[in-house]
Structure 1
Amino acid sequence: MATLTTPLCRQLGIEVPVVQAPIGSAVTTELVAAVADAGGLGTLALTWVTAEEAVRRIRQVRRMTPRPFAVNLVLDFPVDELLDACLRKACRPSRRSSSAMSFHQVVRSVGFSIGSALGGLTLAAHTPAGSTFPTGTGYATASWLGAAAMGATVVAALALRQAPESTTTGLQRESGLRKG
């Protein structure tokens, strides 16, 4: 049977691009483990539980499956204590990467943000006082600046690609983590 493997699958360590929705009380530890065992990404919904219960559920899923799974917290609510408990007491660092966002993802995000900011500033500079819209040259200039920033970002992201899976980073060597 053929499977669909995507860059997201490889990044998350899952086999199929299926992410189970963290729908509050409908999600059980058994469901999260079953989705993970089936090759998808199971997701615990922990926003409305205590910190102790969150740690218990994370550890329970970890006992049920060796596969990756996610934890969802709605950050629009006060979840500082809950987040701290999840990170400090229940979560272990990924053996696949040393951070949640790889360096090249940060470069792309920053580069595209700079391109958007440059475009916006250019359009603002080419909008005459009392006018609603920029001049035609403003649009052209903004387009060229945005394209140049995006091009520079793509070049930087390609130049700073992650090392092949067979290598370890300095942080991984220091922490004792190995690719595998």
Structure 2
Amino acid sequence: MLAKLWKTAWRCRGAAGASLRRAHTASDDELRAARTWLAQLTAETIPRSICAVSFSRSSGPGGQNVNKVNSKATIKVPMSALLPLVPKILHPSIRSSRYYAENSQALVIQADDSRKQSQNLNACFDKLTSMIAEAGRAAVPGETSPEQKKKVQKLQKAANEARIRMKKAHSNKKSSRKGRSDE
């Protein structure tokens, strides 16, 4: 019974491992390039010229300033302009962002934290940069250290040896039953 449970667990673990391997279809070179790109990502990495900028009246408290001044900044970044600038591995994460507008196929980011247009515009670009960085952290796995690789190999070897020991014990148990003759 224990061997059957163990075998089932082994199969399930193997299937899960296979699906995890399929999830990371990017090559090592693509991952390395994405890590380098993300390390160099700043607010200036994405050119402001690809964004449509608009200003509108802010909501909330602020009195006469809120009623008269268009201080709320909104940027609209078309995906067709953004995706060529970003590593391909980040595309699904960016499309699943809360800023993504399906109808317009664009990222729409707003900021009305400040009373000044320029500060709100900079806040929008900061939000865009941090969203792309967050997508990178979610999509690009970190590099595995040599120590971690050795540890994984050691654990895999131990698991394989335990599996072989169980198989041999099961085989011995079965073969000992065959030798008996019921008289």
Q: Indicate the TM-score class for this superposition, using the shorter chain for normalisation.
A: under 0.3
Of structures 1 and 2, the larger Rg is shown by 2
TM-score norm. by structure 1 comes to 0.24
Q: Which has the higher strand share?
A: 2
> RCO (CA 8 Å, sep 6+): is it higher in 1 or 2?
2
After TM superposition, the score normalised by the length of structure 2 is 0.24
Higher helix residue share: 2
